[in-house]
């Protein structure tokens, strides 16, 4: 009976997950999602670059906003990168630590009402929406102006 | 073999029953105010659609609004297969949002025979009204006065009116400039005239032309501004509304500590201009007051929008911003709508016009023009208010169901305390009680066995 | 009918005298509570998402509750006794259905605390809650009928549960597959899937086509069940 119960529990989980998939939206918005987690950002130097200009993100508010870097929404099944301006990103953020591989974050176009910017992480096909207010000052360091929301 | 035959018969009956139910579906709607049952007016309207009609609702894909919209829109497609709809998440499909010029959530774009009309929300009233406009087919001109320093329709700067032009075009209106310095008559095909914040005075001939137009069944919208040398009162005083000038200050309801950037939350009238309007942002506006002459029984003025009870009109904004004896106390009226219906004598010798007829003048006045500029039009309900005003002037207001539907919004702030309470009851108390009740017979049995 | 009621009463009693029966009821109530917490994080007193998930959970519950109805009886050798007794197959099937339906009703009643809690904290629309529960009963009975039919066709409870879930998932999957099709195949698959027929319940509407669909599923499950038992007899 234990084997039966185990098997059933596993099947029930799969079934619930499959059923849930049918209901699941293409995007998630319940809670912020970490694009770069706190653990990845600990001790990392963050460099912002755009159009040949680059510079380190200074410590303080600006760095706190990027480590961890949180997204308000995630597009799990995005269109191609062109739709979000991620084929020609307007800026990139590079998190480098002594021990881990560098994490590269691409900053794309603003969304339809300019409240968010599309952001991608190299090696991750998902597209994230980060509040424009979080990135505005950081991008200004390399001369990129983020338009105010409509 | 008998079993197989029984199964075949059962499947046949079931399929037939479902096909019959699909073809003759009836529905009982027990949701509050029957949100998901289309009114008879909408049903008749939808049946009159004879060419492909496409509805695109731009909504966030998460949350109940998109699901509700899908469910409601599927009622339309069930009635007429020529209607197709899609719910588009503008964040997930920015290209689609750009293609249709979407700048805010809950925009619904309807296209039919190459024409486009936007609905401000995915509710039956708005969608059906938009379909009605599409079916009517004609595009009406809205003439916007120029030549006195007004913000321009083609100006995409924050202080321009290009967003107003887009809004009008998306709602089956064609905005165009009206220059009364070259012609002393308002063209007959102007369905409405907007005087939007002139900074320089109008010439007497221009005032006369606008007054003559308004008196002859005209439809006028005046958006006054205190930062102007032009006095709007000659255009509006005949219709029971006067502009006080000054600057509306509201210490109780304002934006970012700027007490002149007033948030209006009181809409006391039942006028269609206020329909669906929840809050307005009126920066740097002036006040209005109503003075209906006693000898004008056909004239009625609706107080459309009032600032809070703590608001006042600062009559000397250049010197100080404090309420004193020279200021006008609130609540300040910031928008009004006048409707003057009168019986006019028929014209002799003109076929079909010899009998008495009703003449109707409609005027909408706001003490502010900045709220419709590109910077502010998308704020709060500003765009909705402007469009409602134009629709009311041109008598294109919501002609279908007049019953207002309740908001689908049912806020329930889910605090950590509430979460703990829900978990305690549903995951703790209820399952615990079930197990407890279930264990009683087992315990009784055990006790009996021991006694034996 | 008396025989059917006797069978139902026996099954109902047997269910709540076992740890499995109590556990499944308590587990279902707890799962409903967890889902409620997730749904309420949207800060809206709307239960559409809660009912939607409950319908999916009902598939799992129906599979668990029905897996032993016939398969366990066969494993223990009591099915042969039942089938050789003077009770007719339809009476056996009706009795089994009523037995599981009774358990299902108790399980569903255990979730009533959820909407009551929401009503105590906010102002939910009562209409969708009412139709949501009508949907729960219809969906639950239809899924139970499917589960009973599958259970009657096998002697292994695990196979019965997995088989029931497979059938229900296949039906649910029809709705997903339909998204990639056009024309009448799309319409047919959409109508075949339960997912399209529960949407009205979530919004506060009851339409004949949705009710007919679930009653059809119930009827087809019962007929299949009777046919399978007749064959085994």
- Model confidence at C181: pLDDT above 90: no
* A contacts of B103 (beta carbons < 8 Å): 112-113, 150
Among B61, B104, B105, whose Cβ lies nearest the Cβ of A25?
A: B61
Q: Whole domain around residue C190: which residue ranges?
A: 2-232
Domain ranges of chain B: 40-137, 139-346+354-393
CB-nearest to A112 from B62, B63, B97 is: B97
Return d(Cα C114, Cα C107) in angstroms, integer.
13
Q: Are A8 and C41 an interchain contact pair (Cβ–Cβ within 8 Å)? A: no
Q: Looking at the complex, does the CB of residue A28 fall below 8 Å from at least one CB of chain B?
A: yes
What is the reported pLDDT for C17? 79
Nearest-CA distance from A29 to chain C in Å?
Answer: 9
> Any chain A CB within 8 A of the CB of B104?
yes
For residue C203, give how far its alpha carbon lies from the nearest alpha carbon of chain B (Å): 7
Report whether B267 contacts B305 (CB < 8 A).
yes
The residues, any chain, with a CB within 8 Å of residue A94's CB and separated by 6 or more, are A46, A47, A49, A102, A103, A104, A105
Across the interface, which of A8, A20, A31 has its CB nearest the CB of C161?
A: A8
Residues of B with Cβ-Cβ distance to C125 under 8 angstroms: 31-32, 410
- pLDDT of B403: 37
**Distance set, CA A140 to CA A145, C86, C125 (Å):** 6, 87, 48
Q: Please give the pLDDT value at position B270.
A: 87
Which domains are assigned to chain A?
26-140 (3.30.1490)
Residues of B in contact with C133 (CB under 8 A): none
| Spatial separation of the C-alpha atoms in residues C67 and C56, rounded to whole Å | 17
The verdict on a CB contact (< 8 Å) between C41 and A30 is: yes
What is the pLDDT, as a whole number, of residue B346? 60
Nearest CA in chain A to C163: A11
CB pairs under 8 A between A and C: 50
Using one digit for the tens of pLDDT, what is the confidence trace for C201-212? Answer: 998 889 899 999
Measuring CA to CA, how many Å separate B431 from each of B257, B427, B434, C24? 52, 6, 5, 10
Domain count, chain C: 1
Q: Do C204 and B31 touch (CB under 8 A)?
A: yes
CATH of domain B139-346+354-393: 3.40.50
The residue among B149 and C186 whose pLDDT is bigger is: B149
Cβ within 8 Å of residue C127, ≥6 positions away: B29, B30, B31, B32, C204
- Residue B103 contacts A, CB cutoff 8 Å: yes
Q: Does A113 touch chain B (CB under 8 A)?
A: yes
C192 inside 8 A of chain B by CB: no
| CATH class of the domain comprising B40-137 | alpha beta
At C214 the pLDDT is 96
CA C92 to chain centre: 18
pLDDT at position B208: 92
All residue ranges of chain B with pLDDT < 70 are 1, 33, 62-63, 256-257, 345-356, 396-409
What's the complex ipTM? 0.86
Return the beta strands (E) in chain A as ranges.
27-28, 33-36, 45-50, 53-56, 69-71, 73-75, 91-96, 103-110, 116-121, 127-131
The 10 Å CB-count burial string (b at 16+, else e) for B203-234 is eeebbebbbebbeeebbbbbbbbbebebbbee
Q: What is the pLDDT along chain A (150 residues), one digit of tens a residue?
A: 444 444 444 444 444 444 443 433 344 554 578 888 888 878 788 999 998 888 898 888 888 888 889 998 888 888 888 999 999 999 999 998 877 778 899 999 999 888 899 999 998 889 999 999 889 888 998 888 887 776
User: Mind telling me how many Å the CA of B49 is from chain A's nearest CA?
Assistant: 31
pTM for this predicted structure: 0.62
In this prediction, residue C19 carries a pLDDT of 84
C neighbour chains, 3+ CB pairs within 8 Å: A, B
Put simply, the answer to whether A4 touches C169 (Cβ < 8 Å) is: no
**Count of Cβ atoms closer than 10 Å to residue B265 Cβ:** 16
């Amino acid at each position: 009976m234990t084997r039966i119960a185990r098997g059933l529990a596993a099947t029930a989980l799969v079934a619930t997950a499959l059923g849930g998939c049918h209901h699941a939206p293409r995007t998630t918005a319940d809670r912020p999602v970490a694009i770069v987690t706190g653990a990845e950002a600990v001790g990392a130097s963050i460099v912002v670059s755009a159009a040949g200009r680059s510079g380190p993100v200074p410590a303080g508010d600006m760095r706190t906003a990027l480590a961890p870097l949180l997204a308000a929404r995630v597009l799990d099944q995005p269109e191609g990168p062109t739709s979000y301006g991620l084929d020609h990103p307007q800026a990139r953020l590079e998190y480098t630590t002594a021990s881990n591989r560098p994490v590269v974050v691409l900053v794309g176009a603003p969304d339809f009402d300019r409240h968010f910017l599309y952001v991608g992480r190299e090696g991750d096909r998902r597209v994230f929406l980060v509040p424009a207010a979080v990135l505005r000052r950081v991008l200004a360091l390399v001369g990129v102006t983020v338009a105010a929301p409509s | 073999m008998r079993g197989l035959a029984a199964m075949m018969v059962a499947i046949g009956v079931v399929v037939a029953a479902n096909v019959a139910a699909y073809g003759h579906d009836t529905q009982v709607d027990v949701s509050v105010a029957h949100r998901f049952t289309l009114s008879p007016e909408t049903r008749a309207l939808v049946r009159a659609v004879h060419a492909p009609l496409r509805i695109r609702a731009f909504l966030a894909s998460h949350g109940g609004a998109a699901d509700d919209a899908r469910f409601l829109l599927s009622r339309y497609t069930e009635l007429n297969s020529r209607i197709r709809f899609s719910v588009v998440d503008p964040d997930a499909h920015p290209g689609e949002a750009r293609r249709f010029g979407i700048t805010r959530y809950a925009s619904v774009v309807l296209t039919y025979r190459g024409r486009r009309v936007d609905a401000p929300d995915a509710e039956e009233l708005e969608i059906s009204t938009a379909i009605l406009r599409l079916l009517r087919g004609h595009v009406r001109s809205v003439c916007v006065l120029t030549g006195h320093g007004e913000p321009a329709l083609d100006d995409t700067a924050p202080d321009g009116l290009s967003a107003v032009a887009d809004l009008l075009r998306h709602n089956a209106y064609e905005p165009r400039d009206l220059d009364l310095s070259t012609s002393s008559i308002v063209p007959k095909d102007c369905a409405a005239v907007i005087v939007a914040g002139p900074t320089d005075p109008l010439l007497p001939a221009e005032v006369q032309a606008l007054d003559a137009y308004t008196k002859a069944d005209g439809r006028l919208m005046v958006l006054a501004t205190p930062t102007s040398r032009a006095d709007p009162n000659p255009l509006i005083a005949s219709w029971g509304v006067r502009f006080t000038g000054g600057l509306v200050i509201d210490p109780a309801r304002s934006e970012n500590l700027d007490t002149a950037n007033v948030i209006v939350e009181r809409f006391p009238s039942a006028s269609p201009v206020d329909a669906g309007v929840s809050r307005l942002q009126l920066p740097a506006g002036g006040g209005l007051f109503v003075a209906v002459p006693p000898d004008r029984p056909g004239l009625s003025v609706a107080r459309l929008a009032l600032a809070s009870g703590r608001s006042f009109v600062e009559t000397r904004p250049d010197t100080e911003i404090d309420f004193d004896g020279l200021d006008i106390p609130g609540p300040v009226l910031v928008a009004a709508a006048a409707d003057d219906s009168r019986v006019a004598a028929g014209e002799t010798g003109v076929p079909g016009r010899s009998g008495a007829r009703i003449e109707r003048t409609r005027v909408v006045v706001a003490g502010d023009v900045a709220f419709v500029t590109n910077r502010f039009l998308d704020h709060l309900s500003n765009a909705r208010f402007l469009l409602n005003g134009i629709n009311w002037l041109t008598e294109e207001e919501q002609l279908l169901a007049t019953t207002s539907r309740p908001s689908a919004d049912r806020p329930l702030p889910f605090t950590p305390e509430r979460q703990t309470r829900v978990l305690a009851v549903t995951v703790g108390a209820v399952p615990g009680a079930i197990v407890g009740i279930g264990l009683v017979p087992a315990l009784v049995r055990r006790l009996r066995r021991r006694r034996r | 009918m008396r025989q059917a009621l006797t069978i139902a009463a026996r099954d109902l009693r047997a269910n709540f005298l076992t740890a499995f029966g109590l556990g499944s009821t308590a587990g279902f109530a707890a799962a409903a509570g967890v889902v409620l917490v997730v749904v309420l994080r949207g800060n809206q007193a709307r239960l559409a998402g809660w009912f939607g998930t409950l319908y999916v959970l009902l598939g799992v519950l129906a599979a668990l509750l029905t897996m032993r109805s016939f398969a366990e009886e066969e494993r223990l050798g009591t099915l042969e006794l039942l089938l050789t007794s003077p009770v007719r197959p339809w009476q056996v099937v009706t009795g089994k259905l009523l037995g599981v339906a009774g358990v299902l009703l108790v399980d569903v009643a255990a979730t009533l605390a959820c909407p009551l809690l929401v009503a105590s904290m906010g102002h939910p629309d009562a209409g969708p809650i009412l139709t949501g529960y009508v949907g729960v009963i219809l969906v639950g009975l239809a899924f139970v009928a499917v589960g009973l039919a599958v259970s009657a066709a096998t002697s292994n409870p695990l196979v019965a549960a997995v088989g029931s879930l497979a059938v229900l998932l296949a039906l649910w999957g029809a709705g997903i597959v339909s998204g990639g099709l056009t024309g009448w195949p799309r319409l047919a698959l959409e109508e075949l899937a339960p997912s399209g027929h529960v949407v009205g319940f979530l919004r506060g509407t009851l339409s004949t086509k949705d009710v007919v669909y679930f009653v059809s599923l119930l009827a087809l499950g019962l007929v299949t069940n009777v046919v399978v038992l007749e064959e085994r007899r």
